[in-house]
């Protein structure tokens, strides 16, 4: 068992580890423990945050934080689930600048709220020509209804 994996399971008892192959691990944790887990992986284990991804699934919004251990080339992915009626995840941008723009993008495209984020304004969509209540990457977004006038 890897040292980081062991330390994480000791820190968070509810963590479930799924090993896809020798270089990729997926660890599901409850969303309240996200900051502790991320800080542990970054500060104690020396990993860097590679990227974050979000996806709209039947159970809710699944947000993945990919940490890369550059010494061995292994990816540790933290998976947190935010239910559809309460899509809030604690913002990691307060202590980790790399997550700043990624969380802005997830907020404007998926509608996930990140309380504590210093600057949660849209990043990619237009500021003049876009309806901010529409979230394009959700499953129920229909592009064919989108009219465009100049």
Partner 1 sequence: MKDPRIWGLKKSPWVYHVAAASCNNCDIEILELLTPRYDVERFGIVLVGSPRHADVLLVTGVINRKSLPRVLEVFEQTPKPCLVIGIGSCTCNNHIFRNSYNAVGPYDKYLPMHAYVPGCPPKPEAMILGVVKALGKL
Which stretches of the chain bind partner 1, using CB under 8 A?
124-130, 134, 136, 141, 143, 146, 148, 150
Give the helix/strand (H/E) hosting 38. helix 34-39
**Closest distance to partner 1 from the beta carbon of 123 (Å):** 10
**Nearest distance from C-beta of residue 140 to partner 1, angstroms:** 13
Q: Give the nearer residue to partner 1 in terms of CB position, either 116 or 122.
A: 122
Given the complex with partner 1, which of 18 and 130 has the nearer CB atom?
A: 130
| Least distance CB 125 / partner 1 (angstroms) | 7
Residue closer to partner 1 by CB (options 98, 123) is 123
């Amino acid at each position: 068992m890897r040292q980081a994996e062991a330390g994480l399971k000791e820190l968070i008892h509810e963590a479930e580890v799924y090993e896809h192959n020798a270089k990729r691990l997926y660890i599901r944790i409850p969303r309240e423990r996200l900051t502790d887990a991320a800080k542990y992986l970054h500060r104690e284990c020396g990993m860097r945050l590679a990227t974050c991804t979000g996806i709209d699934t039947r159970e809710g919004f699944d947000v993945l934080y990919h940490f890369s251990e550059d010494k061995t080339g292994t990816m540790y992915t933290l998976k947190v689930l935010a239910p559809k009626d309460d899509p809030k995840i604690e913002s990691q941008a307060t202590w980790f600048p790399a997550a700043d723009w990624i969380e802005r993008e997830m907020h404007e495209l998926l509608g996930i709220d990140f309380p504590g984020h210093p600057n949660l304004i849209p990043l990619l969509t237009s500021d003049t020509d876009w309806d901010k209540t529409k979230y394009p990457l959700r499953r129920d977004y229909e592009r064919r209804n989108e009219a465009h006038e100049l």
